[in-house]
Amino acid sequence: MRDVIVVGGGLSGLIVGAELQRRGKNVLVLEATGAAAGVASSVSEDGYLLEPGAGSLLWPNADLAPVFEAAGIELLAANPTAGARFVYQNGTLFQIPESPAIAFSGLVSWGAKIRAVREPWVKTPPPSEEESIEGFFNRRFGKGLGRLGATLMAHGVFAGDPAKLSMRGAFPKMVALEDEAGSMIRGMLARMRQRDKGTPRASVHVPPRGMKGVAEDLVSYLGESFQANRRATALRKSGTGWIVEAGDTFEAHNIVLALAPHLAAGLVPDDVASLMADAVVAPVAVVGIGGRAADVPLPAGFGALIGPDTDVRVLGILMESQYAPGRAPELHHLAKGIYGGGADPEVLARSDDELVALMIDETSRVIGTRVQPSWTKVVRHDPGIPQYNVGHVGWMRKLDDAVANHPGLHLTGWGYRGIGVSGFGTEATRIGKALEG
């Protein structure tokens, strides 16, 4: 009888398992496949390291630091060029200037800029608790800048549809700025004033061996508390806890399902499963292209997001080898593009070869120079990325209520309270506290 069984050896399951072990709990993490890391299983091939999921995270991170330190996880600051970010809009690649210089960029019209600077005085309340990202940005900044901002946020973080994603569900910290200060700009200025000047600003960091290396370090830390090739096929309550069938029978006081809703639905009690049926996911494909620097002449920077007025279908292109060391052989470059998502799943009907051809053509157009890669890779995620569409906040409330009816059951991972790895430490802390009672 263990304290806790974690089902799922993706990054969220490994982080929560390692954090609970660090807190002195008797933990067992069960992973269905032969290796940990889930969607973030880095591909190492011919000297390239392609991240099919998360490739970087903002560091320092107070919740992740203790568990990363315990597991000996190394993170490197990204090359300083990571500060350069681009937007492709109306057939032109713009480097996003630091504000207030954005006022002089050609990204949006002067009319749109003038409307946007009136944001601190906009008093219109949200039409409903769960407004779409597009609705939120249009209301606060006007349709010109609003449409651009909403598209970049939706594509860049969720590969989602800005008209469908819930602003409060997907970006709760931004909504809190309006809730607290009546305006995003005022709220941001207040936060900047409150910020402890001694606290280092979080910046982009990368794991030198990729996210797979992070997973391997967490697996080493877990030791015998991690078991691969253990697919959980059934879950039921026992007298004092939970029983998991995963080849053998395992028992624990608590069960953490580190599985997105579509994976967890077959295991949870019926009332929870019926809610999980409403969860939305969107398929994506990650297309990597690499080659000699002269043949893949990427601009120095983090990447380019694609604006709403565009002639390409790629949602964003990350200049992997430009900001992350060790992503391509010396004097070579690696870029990755994301296709599909909530607004354009149809593009994924194309074959891998067709997606590669599209990526080569569109990268050439976006950076303004022909690229001729010698290495390519396509990784498909299907069913894909959880979409926190309008209704997500209400859905989470109902899900939390339903889960509360089953003491000892916990849900975590990218399907619920945050899509990115940065939030998994907060999740692990939340579950750690719940287990303390």
Positions in the binding site for ligand FAD (CB under 6 A): 7-13, 30-33, 38-40, 53-57, 231-232, 258-260, 263, 284, 286, 338, 381, 385, 413-414, 419-422
**Would you say 297 or 420 has its CB closer to ligand FAD?**
420
Chain-centroid distance of CA 218 in Å reads 19
3-state secondary structure of 21: helix
Minimum distance, C-beta of residue 258 to ligand FAD, in the bound complex (Å): 5
Q: Locate 162 and state its tokens.
A: 């800005």
CB 181, min distance to ligand FAD, A: 27
Closest distance to ligand FAD from the beta carbon of 315 (Å)? 9
For tokens 């290796």, name the residue: 35
* C-beta closer to ligand FAD: residue 140 or 230: 230
DSSP conformation class of 76: E
Complex with ligand FAD: residue 116 or 286, whichever CB lies closer? 286
Q: Among residues 421, 437, 434, which one has the least CA distance to residue 63?
A: 421
Q: Is the dihedral of CA 341, 342, 345, 347 positive or negative?
A: negative
CB-nearer residue toward ligand FAD: 190 or 243: 243
Nearer to ligand FAD, 247 or 368 (CB): 247
Q: How far apart are CA 282 and CA 162, in angstroms?
A: 13
CA atoms within 13 A on the CB side of 387: 28
Nearer to ligand FAD, 32 or 122 (CB): 32
Q: What residue type is 272 in one-letter code?
A: V
Distances 419 to 158, 176, 188, 202, 342 between C-alpha atoms, Å: 8, 18, 22, 18, 14
- Backbone angles phi and psi of 42, in degrees to 5: -55, 145
Closest distance to ligand FAD from the beta carbon of 197 (Å) = 27
What does the alpha-carbon distance between residue 174 and residue 177 come to, in Å, rounded to a whole number? Answer: 5
CB of 351 to ligand FAD, least distance (A): 19
Q: Which is nearer to ligand FAD, 259 or 306 (CB)?
A: 259
Angstrom distance (rounded) from CA 336 to CA 284: 12
- Look at the block and give the residue holding tokens 């983090």: 302
Q: How far is the CB of 191 from ligand FAD (least distance, A)?
A: 21
To the nearest whole angstrom, how small is the minimum distance from the Cβ of residue 104 to ligand FAD? Answer: 29
